[in-house]
Amino acid sequence: MFKVTILGFDQAYASAITGALDLFALAGVTWQRMQGQQPSPFFEVQIASLKKRPVRCINQLVINSHIAIEDVEHTDLLLIPTIGGELINVINNNQPLLAHIQKHFDNHSDIASNCSGAFLLAEAGLLDGKEATTHWGYASLFKSRYPNVNLCAEKMITSAHNIYCSGGGMAWFDLALMLIERYCGHDVATTTAKAHVIDIYRGEQVAYANILTKKYHQDPDVLLVQEWLESNYSQRVAVSDLPLLVNLTLRTFNRRFKKATEQNPLEYLQTLRIEAAKKQLETTHDSIDRIVTQVGYDDLSSFTRLI
C-alpha cells in the first residue's frame, strides 16, 4: 500500500485533514462494499504533527495525531492542509515544520498542498521557479511574499515534478482524487468519486493517468522527457527526436528510458494519449473522431489498433 501522511498543525481546516483522510483510506473500500466485493484498500493514511501534539483546527475541533512528524522516516505522499487561521501568524508559529517538509522532498516523496497550505511549501523554498496555485483571495499576498514562484491562481491544480498544489479551501477532494488516480489509476479514482458522490473533474487537471508509478526512478534526463511528453502528447511527436531534448544518443536514450519506465518512448506516448482519450470520452460530448484528433492521432483506425 502507498503511505500518505497528512501534516497536522493548529488553525488548519479540519475538513482538509479528515476529508482527505477519508478519501485516501476508503479508496478501494467503499465502492467495493457497495458492489458486494472484497475491500482492497490502496493507502495507509496517518496524521502527523510536531511531537505528536493534538491539532486544534480553525473550527475548534481537536484531532489526535497518529505519529510525530519527527518519527516519519518515509512516506509516499506528504499532504499539507489548508491554513484556516491568520496566514502570517500560522506560518510564523510553524517554522519547525519546514525542515520536515524539506526532508521528505529531498527523500523524493510527493508533496501536495491544499489552498493556503501552499504558503508553507513556498516558505520552505520548494516552489521557487515552479508553477503553483492557491486560493484566489490570497494571490496578491502570495505573489508579493514569494515573487520567485510562478503563481497560477486561476488553476484548480498545478503539478511541478513531485509537487502538487490545489486551489480553494474545499479543493482538497479535487487534489485527493487526482492523486488517487495517479497512484492507482483512472478506474479507482472514478469509483471512489462515485461512492462519495463527487464530481471527479472540476476545472483544470492533468490529462493523463496510470503514469505516476513510472516516475519512481532517479534518472533526471528520462524524467525531463516524460514531463515534456505529458505537456505535448497531443502534438505531432517524432520519437526519434526525443533524445535531442537531453543530448543523448538514440541508443542510450532508449535503453535508459526503458530501464526507468519499463516502456519504450513510443509505448509511453501511446499510454498518455489513451488515458487522455478515456477522460475526454467520460467528460465531454465530443465525437470519438474529434477526441482521437485532439490526443494526437490522424484517424480513428490508427487509434483503435492500440486499444
Q: Give the confidence band of 181 by pLDDT, cuts at 50, 70, 90.
A: confident
CATH superfamily to which 2-195 belongs: Class I glutamine amidotransferase (GATase) domain (3.40.50.880)
pTM (predicted TM-score)? 0.69
In this prediction, residue 294 carries a pLDDT of 81
What is the mean predicted confidence (pLDDT) over 104-115? 95
pLDDT, one tens digit per residue, over 10-29 is 999 999 999 999 999 999 99
Q: Give the confidence band of 204 by pLDDT, cuts at 50, 70, 90.
A: very low
In this prediction, residue 174 carries a pLDDT of 87
- Domain range summary for the chain, segments of one domain joined by +: 2-195, 212-304
Rounded distance between C-alpha atoms, residue 167 and residue 72, angstroms: 27
Q: Span 212-304: which CATH code?
A: 1.10.10.60
What is the mean predicted confidence (pLDDT) over 193-206? 66
The DSSP string of 199-262 is -S--S---S--S-GGGG-S--HHHHHHHHHHHHHTTS---GGGGGGGTT--HHHHHHHHHHHHS
**Which of 119, 22, 18 shows the shortest CA–CA distance to 61?**
18
In this prediction, residue 300 carries a pLDDT of 66
